[in-house]
Amino acid sequence: MAKVAREDWKERIRDPKIECMSRDEMSTLQSERLVRQVKNVYENVEFYRKKMDVLGVEPGDIKGIEDIGKLPFTTKEDLRDHYPFGLLAVPQEKIVRVQGTSGTTGKLTLASYTQKDVDVWGECVARALTMAGLTSEDRIHVCYGYGLFTGGMGLDLGARALGAMAIPMSAGNTKRQLMCMEDFGATAFACTPSYAMYLAEAIQEEGILDRLQIKASINGAEPWTEEMRLKLERMLDINSFDIYGLCEVTGPGVAMDCIHHKGLHVYEDYFYPEVLNPADQSACADGETGELVFTTLAKEGMPLLRYRTKDLTSIDHSVCECGRTLPRIQKFTGRTDDMKVIRGVNVFPTQVESALLSMGGGVAPHYLMIVDRENNLDVLTVMVEVDERYFSDEMRKLDELKNRVGAVLKQALGVAVRVKLVEPKTIQRSEGKAKRVIDNRQL
């Protein structure tokens, strides 16, 4: 099936009243919801009442969205400290589902949802699917994991709200994925970008691209570059879209890019975004990179004030070419906790990915960063797969490629790296989130 014409995407807006609302109207809506939410959490969540009391802030001090800076921050550590149900704003019997993510301590980061929260979540994902040109006539192959992870359930709820067919495959068993994708006539698929590349490789190897009806992919849950999106689109002759969300706020459906790919539109009627300087928490101007912070304006079960995501991005409040007035956040440069400081230089995995994809051949976009400390100095080794088309047993050619990769990475990262070229398919493929960094330093 050929791509749907790009102009068709531009006209598909699920809720023009909200998605094309004027800035003044949106600020009024946000202010009403924020005032109501602050009163709600102060009266019903002991954690926030104590936080606000320490700051000397009362609900009456919040007159509108312009006062959001007076409110306390919330962190992932706060959620873990109050695990599992210490941040509820409603009685437990009103909670109809929970979702969670694994944590380094063994305890989950748990989020709780009322039925209204679930309905809002599904509506936001439906907006995103509409943004990707999908309608009730489409069949969406969901290969995000189901279970406590929000990916599978979020796309499932969105498909349901859209009236589309959901194909709940979950992750794994790639041959079965491809068989069902073909047999069921899937027109779109949803998974992490790293698994999307894995599927694309498998589709090409099996030679079944012409038998598939896929026209779009919805990819998120990990940072990825514009170069990877373009490569995925070329490999499968589809349009790929970047969806963003996080369990603590709601799951996928917080933001998504449109066909113009100039940032991810944030559904700010439900999730108010701030981009703040990580050092002093001052507001960043449009275009300046900072930490993304969200306040859930209408969530009932576990509302959050100024939740620090640790995701690094910038924001743009100008009107998009698609007609939406929703602000756009840019693809993430990384996370504050993903960043590695190598000999005083800040390094993000996405920089490595972008540099490798910019080379135009010779290496595949599969890599692993390994950080060691030798003689009190940081050493960064990047394992890179040689592209199958360029693989050669001639040491001279491999040495030339290794030197070229090293030069490209040094220019991109600002620090010298050791390059280790490995054979195709050597680096382990992930069916979930890709593991890009191993830090062996005792920091």
Q: Specify the DSSP class assigned to residue 323.
A: S
Smallest CA-to-CA distance from 4 within 214, 223, 212, 203 is with 214
Residue 32 placed within a domain: no
Residue where one domain finishes, among candidates 292, 319, 335: 335
Residue 267 placed within a domain: yes
Residues 324 and 418 in one domain: no
Residue where one domain finishes, among candidates 313, 335, 357: 335
Q: Read off the tokens for 151.
A: 């990916």
Could you give the number of structural domains in the chain? 2
- For residue 123, name the pLDDT band (cuts at 50, 70, 90): very high
For 85-121, write each residue's pLDDT tens digit.
Answer: 999 999 999 999 999 986 544 578 899 999 999 999 9
CA distances from 39 to 45, 108, 208, 303 (A): 10, 28, 56, 12
Half-sphere exposure of 264 (CA within 13 A, CB side): 29
For 166-207, write each residue's pLDDT tens digit.
Answer: 999 998 889 999 999 999 999 999 998 888 988 999 999 999
Residues 316 and 205 in one domain: yes
Residues 300 and 395 in one domain: no
Is the pTM here over 0.85, yes or no?
no
Query: Cis peptide before 84, with omega less than 30 degrees from 0?
Result: yes
CATH code at position 174: 3.40.50.12780
Quote the domain boundaries for residue 381: 340-439
Q: What is the pLDDT of residue 200?
A: 94
Residues 297 and 375 in one domain: no
Residues 122 and 249 in one domain: yes
Residues 292 and 407 in one domain: no
Residue 354 placed within a domain: yes
Residue 85 placed within a domain: no
Residues 204 and 290 in one domain: yes
Residue 53 placed within a domain: no
Residues 325 and 402 in one domain: no
Smallest CA-to-CA distance from 275 within 234, 312, 317, 239 is with 312
Residues 259 and 163 in one domain: yes
For 306-333, write each residue's pLDDT tens digit.
Answer: 999 988 999 999 999 999 999 999 988 7
Query: What 3-state DSSP class applies to 134?
Result: coil
Residue where one domain finishes, among candidates 320, 335, 350: 335
Residues 322 and 420 in one domain: no
CATH code at position 365: 3.30.300.30
Task: Indicate the average pLDDT of the chain.
Answer: 90
Residues 384 and 413 in one domain: yes
Residue 68 placed within a domain: no
Phi and psi of 299, rounded to 5°?
Answer: -70, 140
Residue 78 placed within a domain: no
Residue 99 placed within a domain: no
For 391-440, write each residue's pLDDT tens digit.
Answer: 665 777 888 899 999 999 999 888 889 999 998 888 876 655 677 888 89
Residues 321 and 387 in one domain: no
As a whole number of angstroms, the distance between CA 441 and CA 443 comes to: 6
- What mean pLDDT do residues 24-35 have? 98
Burial call 214-250: b when 16+ CB within 10 Å, e when fewer: bbbbbbbbbbbbebbbebbbebbebbbbbbbbbbbbb
The string of DSSP codes covering 207-239 is: T-GGG----EEEEESS---HHHHHHHHHHHTSE
For 219-268, write each residue's pLDDT tens digit.
Answer: 998 778 898 899 999 999 999 999 999 999 999 999 999 999 999 999 99
Q: What is the pLDDT of residue 155?
A: 98
Helices (H), 250-361: 349-357
